[in-house]
Structure 1
Amino acid sequence: MTYRDDVVRVENKRAGTDAWRSGSGGLRDSDDERIQVQGYASTTSVAPGEVIDFHVTVDVPQSVTISIYRLGWYDGQGGRLVYTNPPLACQVHPVPPADPLTGTIECRWPPILRLRVPADWVSGLYVATFTSQSGTRGCTPFVVRDDRNPAELCVVLPFSTYQAYNQWPKDGRRGKSLYYGFPSPGAPIDPDARAFQVSFDRPYSDRGWPKQFDRDHDFVQWVEQRGYDVTYASTVDLHTGRIDPGRYAGLVFCGHDEYWSAEMVRAADQAVQRGVSLAFLAANNVYWRIRLEPSTDGRENRIVTCYKTAPDPTAGVDGLGATMRWRDLGGQGEHAEQRLLGVQYNGIVAAPSPLVVRNADHWFWERCRVTDGLELPRLVGGEADGYDPAMPAPVGVNSTILSASPYRLRNGTVHEQNTHLYETPGGALVFDAGTLHWTLALNRRGFRNQKIQIATRNLFDRIVRQKSSGR
């Protein structure tokens, strides 16, 4: 398929660098014990012409240099330097105490830099690095949106899930995520000490690289290497309605996208109804229902709320009930993620297992040279999805199971992983990879799998073709 020579392809012809990588230039990574240099951004996404603030702290007063890289292919370098400022004076800012009721750690550090994003910055996944005078570096990611131009595919980065897993500061004393906390200094990490609300107004742990962010960067490198016409957004943009799905052939959720608000689910449902395709390239998506709430100073969508199994004191504030698993809302599982995805999360994979091909004659597997029962090694890993006949499934659609892969849980129980695809009468395709190893197979050294690369191109090409043909 021929793709128009869009700005992303032109961008990737520019000279890249690997200076964004951990340890480059002999710099040491910051850690949560000393917090040598760490920071956060004022927003998960920003458009050219808008302002983004960076809030940084250091362990002793010193100067800090902020460099910003756009992540992409760049002939395998993985990033391009787009901005560096002169050294800025930086002060020590404390780690605030956790809220005693919600566990929220919300930094109110002043900005060290206010940056108006230049008009020529191409939409993409960016990372700001903070390099201290003493030779230590931290970083934080953000997205540059393009609110002006349509694209074939919009890649939505899972910032709500990044924050849910963020344990900052993971120092054995203070840090809290939506999973764990420290009940007392020096005590083992404990789910009973977890937070119920987490804030975007804090760094990501250690060097600032969110958990599983590498998998997303693998996809970004691959999709830009292949020359697809892509633009980028964050899950907060999906929540707020800044994403107009009708401008794209499909929305691509490349990462582990576990934490979804009602507004996000509604936007995805409406996209499918409009004939816009969805591609989920991981597993355990749309699992926990969240609310996005204002910071204590009133800035919208800076707090991720999810009480999970604990009583939610504000249940029903949006008419849906508690912040718990989507599948547990209502009486008959009517909100289960399978209703949208076609399959749903069914377990943690004890050890990487083969993905076993099914329906090999489907167009998805065209040119892959596969047969039913063929095993693609190590592709089922991390977490897995599968079809659950007890849960609601999409109705009035053409569904296909593309893999049927047995795998073991940590307790030895055998479950089945399913890669799944369905097509609506309006021409929308909804794909669920059903494994966290899919994007590794696209780009990760030692994991690349040509058959998965071809199959993913088949999927994206069909998504683009069906939109352009008006289906």
Structure 2
Amino acid sequence: MSKVSRRAALGAIGVGAVAVAGYQLRGTAESHAFSRPEARTGDNAVVEENKAAGSDAWTMGRDATTTADDKVVQIQGYASKTSVAPGDSLDFHISSHVAQACTVAIYRIGHYGGVGARQLTSRSEVRVEPRAKPEADPTTGLVACDWPVSWTLDIPKSWVSGMFLAVFTSEDGHRSYTPFVVRDTTRRSDVLLVVPFTTYQAYNIWPTDGRIGKNLYRGFTAEGLPGGNPERAFKVSFDRPYAEAGTPAWFDMDISAARWAEQAGYDITYASSVDLHEGRIDPSQYTVIIFPGHDEYWSKKMRDCAEEAVDTGTHLAFFGSNNIYFHIRIESAADGRPGRVVTCYKQDPDPTPGAGGPTERWRTLGKKHRKAEQGLLGVQYNGMIKAPVPLVVRESKHWFWSGTGLRDGDELPDLVAVEADGFDPSMPRPENATQTLLSESPYNDSMGRGRRIQNTSLCEDKSGTLVFVAGTFHWPLALSKAEHLDPQVQRATKNLMDRMLTPRG
């Protein structure tokens, strides 16, 4: 699909006709055959890496550790980048409530025989001192630290691309974390997993001290109570710790998907959402790009990269919901370092809209909802769920559900949760594609917007390129998190990956 024809078609709201498998979207684009090498599942660097002994020593409570908090900042820190390449270096900026030595241990997230992580290096006796909390910018609400570098990690060239955690542990037994990615854009892999750092930062309200902290949703009132839009920030910085223990909101969605993919033996490399924005990712180098969790905040360059992926025959798989909802700008820090500030004005006037337009909801950009996320995804966010409800299966004879034993109307308990996506016939649809709605799950919106329908969606264009959207927060958790584990979700997702990794033409 060409970008020109995609954009022209986004305004064509009423072109679809109901088909047996969902919504058949008519188009005239020529079919293309995309050649990809045979998948390297089971025989790749990630499989070899996961043969190493794992460790759970990073977990909170081990060795009598306790969680650091934002008010006291017993031990907290942040990384100088969201991702780093082997052979490069990464700085950690750490503060403590008293001058002391701390230990910084580096773990790679994976399967590792079910342990879930492996310690790759550790540095003890890292000197840390109390550092001042910055005041919020009175105009934008930006909270950005300028703490000095406490320790620099040189990334060995032997390290395998993945999701990583830096674990900060103080002498007095407090612990916190900060995540980062080791990327490897120098080699082609079957699968690229993109970690949603822009969304992590949008929800980060550090410090939750009743005074300074702000994110893109709220801040604190003069009375020290949680506020709302009047108190929120328009800009948030990566130059600060993540709140409290340091694991971002819904980080477990991404961890669960990554562990499942590595257990399955897929040839996978990793990137951050900032990498998409900064042009480090050539989507044609991958057969599948996975967006594993809650991936809500997207810049124009990020979306351009995803659209280019489909245009060049790379499949997309979104394992969560509420994807590509807010348009953002990713800007430089005050000292000029790129990729350190996420800007989103939402319903407020954007004083400096760029080439992509104002930072508001994608579905409100342009005339006739031309930029609505459904134009790429096939479905879009349609509500919030107070308590989990079942996912109701539809189109059970489709290859996606093969081997699950499910029939139309069967329910997968508690799978639809937190936020849901659904098909909106009034919004743009993917052009030149057949859409299959694989679920039809009723729920009541917790914000009082009435009864809604959740849809899991699969779109296939004329070249066979697939765009999958699970449409619920609990899908990635069902892949490997013990309390959510669902073998039928695992099988369906394997069916999806098998189909995506099968060469075409």
- TM-score range, shorter-chain basis? over 0.9
Local SS of the residue matching 1:352: strand
Structure 1 unaligned runs (5+)? none
2-structure distance, mates of 1:379, 1:255: 14
Counterpart among 318, 334, 347 of residue 309 in structure 1: 347
2-structure distance, mates of 1:189, 1:126: 33
Matched AA of 1:260? W
Counterpart among 39, 43, 54 of residue 5 in structure 1: 43
Residue deviations 1:323-372, cap 9 Å, x none?
Answer: 00000111200000000000000000121111011111111111111111
Matched AA of 1:29? T
User: Equivalent residue for 1:162?
Assistant: 200
User: Equivalent residue for 2:374?
Assistant: 338
In the TM superposition, residue 375 of structure 1 has moved relative to its aligned partner by 0.7
After TM superposition, list the pairs within 5 Å mapping 1:7-406 onto structure 2: 7-315=45-353, 317-318=354-355, 320-406=356-442
Local SS of the residue matching 1:86: strand
8 A Cα contact 2:203 2:216, kept in partner: yes
1-structure distance, mates of 2:185, 2:322: 29
2-structure distance, mates of 1:168, 1:188: 13
User: Equivalent residue for 1:458?
Assistant: 495
Local SS of the residue matching 1:169: coil
1-structure distance, mates of 2:291, 2:89: 26
2-structure distance, mates of 1:51, 1:446: 37
1-structure distance, mates of 2:347, 2:305: 26
Local SS of the residue matching 1:85: strand
Size of the aligned set, in residue pairs, is 466
In the TM superposition, residue 427 of structure 1 has moved relative to its aligned partner by 2.1
8 A Cα contact 2:40 2:267, kept in partner: no
In the TM superposition, residue 133 of structure 1 has moved relative to its aligned partner by 1.3
TM-score (norm 1): 0.97
2-structure distance, mates of 1:203, 1:332: 40
8 A Cα contact 1:67 1:85, kept in partner: yes
Local SS of the residue matching 1:264: helix
2-structure distance, mates of 1:113, 1:185: 37
Local SS of the residue matching 1:358: coil
2-structure distance, mates of 1:389, 1:168: 39
Counterpart among 485, 489, 496 of residue 448 in structure 1: 485
Residue deviations 1:149-203, cap 9 Å, x none?
Answer: 2111100000000000000001111100001101225233333100000000000
In the TM superposition, residue 25 of structure 1 has moved relative to its aligned partner by 1.7
8 A Cα contact 1:357 1:402, kept in partner: yes
8 A Cα contact 2:40 2:266, kept in partner: no
Local SS of the residue matching 2:435: strand
Local SS of the residue matching 2:284: helix
Matched AA of 1:143? V
Matched AA of 2:396? A
Local SS of the residue matching 2:493: helix
In the TM superposition, residue 139 of structure 1 has moved relative to its aligned partner by 1.1
8 A Cα contact 1:356 1:404, kept in partner: yes
8 A Cα contact 2:393 2:440, kept in partner: yes
Matched AA of 1:445? A
Residue deviations 1:409-436, cap 9 Å, x none?
Answer: 1237210000000111222110000000
2-structure distance, mates of 1:6, 1:430: 25
In the TM superposition, residue 443 of structure 1 has moved relative to its aligned partner by 1.2
8 A Cα contact 1:63 1:88, kept in partner: yes
In the TM superposition, residue 63 of structure 1 has moved relative to its aligned partner by 0.7
8 A Cα contact 1:55 1:109, kept in partner: yes
Matched AA of 2:485? R
8 A Cα contact 1:285 1:344, kept in partner: yes
Residue deviations 1:353-399, cap 9 Å, x none?
Answer: 11011111111111111111111110100100000011010121111
Residue deviations 1:252-276, cap 9 Å, x none?
Answer: 0001000000001111111101000
In the TM superposition, residue 446 of structure 1 has moved relative to its aligned partner by 2.5
1-structure distance, mates of 2:477, 2:103: 32
The runs of at least 4 consecutive aligned structure 1 residues that moved more than 3 Å come to none
1-structure distance, mates of 2:159, 2:290: 21
8 A Cα contact 1:351 1:408, kept in partner: no
TM-score (norm 2): 0.91
Local SS of the residue matching 1:451: helix
Counterpart among 472, 477, 481 of residue 435 in structure 1: 472
2-structure distance, mates of 1:409, 1:231: 37
Report % sequence identity.
50
Matched AA of 1:456? T
8 A Cα contact 2:252 2:477, kept in partner: no
Counterpart among 452, 455, 463 of residue 426 in structure 1: 463
Matched AA of 1:381? A
Local SS of the residue matching 2:91: strand
8 A Cα contact 1:174 1:185, kept in partner: no
Q: Larger relative CO (CA 8 A, sep 6+): 1 or 2? A: 2
In the TM superposition, residue 4 of structure 1 has moved relative to its aligned partner by 4.2
2-structure distance, mates of 1:129, 1:55: 13
User: Equivalent residue for 1:415?
Assistant: 452
Structure 2 unaligned runs (5+)? 1-38
How much is the aligned-residue C-alpha RMSD, in angstroms? 1.2
1-structure distance, mates of 2:468, 2:126: 46
